[in-house]
Amino acid sequence: MSRNVVLCCLDTVRKDFFDRFSTRLQDRADVTFEQCRAASCWSVPSHASMVTGDLPHEHGIHAKNPRLDALSARETIRDDLPDHHFLGVSSNIYAGSAYGFDAIFDEFVDITRDHRYPDALDASTFITEETEPGLARYAAVLRACLAHPETAKSVANTVAAQLQHLSRNGPLSNFPTLFDDGARSACRAARSRIHGRDDPYFLFVNFMEGHEPHRDTLGYDRDSYDVPTGWSSRPLQTWDAVEPSPETDRQLGWYRDLYGASIAYLDRVVDEFVSDVLAATDRETTVVITADHGENLALPEDDGHLGHITSLTEGVLHVPLLIINPPAGYDAVESDYVSHLELRRLLAGLAHDETPDVTADRIPAEVLAMTPGNDPLRETDPAYWTRRIRCVYDGETKYEWDSLGVEQAVELDHDRPCWQSRPPDTSSVPSWVRTEFDTALGAVSVAADGDETPMDDAVLDRLEDLGYR
């Protein structure tokens, strides 16, 4: 009998911080893959690799070609499970309908922190697009709420949107942010769509709490961190970490504290959600928890980088991978490498009540173009920040090379998640390493496809808030 499969993507959550702050999910897991690596360093190429099993140069989706609706013309996990109903709920604007990720789903729900009830009026977008000035604009919103079938929820969305605006940009900005980045709304939307289903389903849920900017938030455990009340990391930019000052170092400490608190918050919310999912139908349900990529935290082992910029550090590649309620057959802890390139095969196997071996001795990863929103950083050293990078893992060594001709064997320690050390000398990588890729790095095209879809103001505002504009 086919199983339901739920894929929870804890966006931007790196393995070492997950191990420290996500105790509930770890205790609940039946299987833990200790050495999972993402296929790339940020959302667009990583999500494409997760559902196709292809590297970025193969699926062609990257910073200069970010449209995920191109996946509809490729084989994906959808083709492996033709009898499953595909549901998607996402708080990630890039892994959402704005960039065509909904194309492989039967139903898809976009979540934002201002849109607490997805089935009701999106008040934030309505206010942004409404042309009436002053009070007339809010009168128009009220009329729209009253005309909507979900009147009460539409009013709640309006109130939430205004409170969020006041807490981020207005007189409440010195107080903790009132709402999370959509985790509880995403759980609510997913629950309503799976409860009592008789047919098998595949459910994807993306949670964005681990993504910058990080804010002092009302729902976080205030005792677990010490930052100024109401502080937000939004003014702290990736290029600030290049030559940090004492003040920057202090803010980076706050950044890391809130990053950990966001993961601890997700641990509580997703743990409750998993309980609900397992009880929602009579069909066996397996839950897989991972992250599309991690995050550089300006630590020495992150090469001093901040954010998921052009890099293949362990901070951005080493991610959690847990399975809850799988078929019998896996050991409780799997210590060999597993790549997100095998996630599609893992999910399909679990849905068919199987336990495929997805581990390998060697696994690759790559980044082909610079993450959007980092133009000031690129201007400091264009050749370096726009370079293409590849790596291959083999034992406790990561062989890395880039389009500038730099090659290096990076030292790892499997007992220290997200840690790496670059020896002072630059050494050549073995010739066999490049055979893990079917196309030479210099032969890969990263040109834009020339078909940039215009985005509405609400999408552009969300991208700016996430640091992508």
| 3-class DSSP assignment, residue 179 | coil
| 3-class DSSP assignment, residue 219 | coil
Alpha-carbon span 350 to 353, nearest angstrom: 5
Which residue in the block uniquely carries the two structure tokens 């609940």?
A: 28
- For residue 174, which of 227, 117, 249, 98 has the smallest C-alpha distance? 227
Fold adopted by 4-113+196-212+280-465: Alkaline Phosphatase, subunit A (3.40.720)
Please state the pTM of the whole predicted model. 0.92
Alpha-carbon span 260 to 392, nearest angstrom: 29
Ordered per-residue pLDDT tens for the chain, 469 residues: 799 999 999 999 999 999 999 999 999 999 999 999 999 999 999 999 999 999 999 999 998 899 999 888 789 999 999 999 999 999 999 999 999 999 999 999 999 877 778 888 887 776 666 666 667 777 888 888 888 898 888 788 778 777 776 666 666 667 788 889 999 999 999 999 999 899 999 999 999 999 999 999 999 999 989 999 999 998 999 989 988 899 999 999 999 999 999 999 999 999 999 999 999 999 999 999 999 999 999 999 999 999 988 999 999 999 999 999 999 999 999 999 999 999 999 999 999 999 999 999 999 999 998 888 888 888 889 999 999 999 999 999 999 999 999 999 999 999 999 999 999 877 789 999 999 999 999 999 887 654 455 566 566 566 666 566 5
Sheet holding 397-402, edge to edge: 362-367, 389-394, 397-402, 407-412, 420-421
Q: In this structure, are strands 333-339 and 359-360 parallel, antiparallel, or unpaired?
A: antiparallel
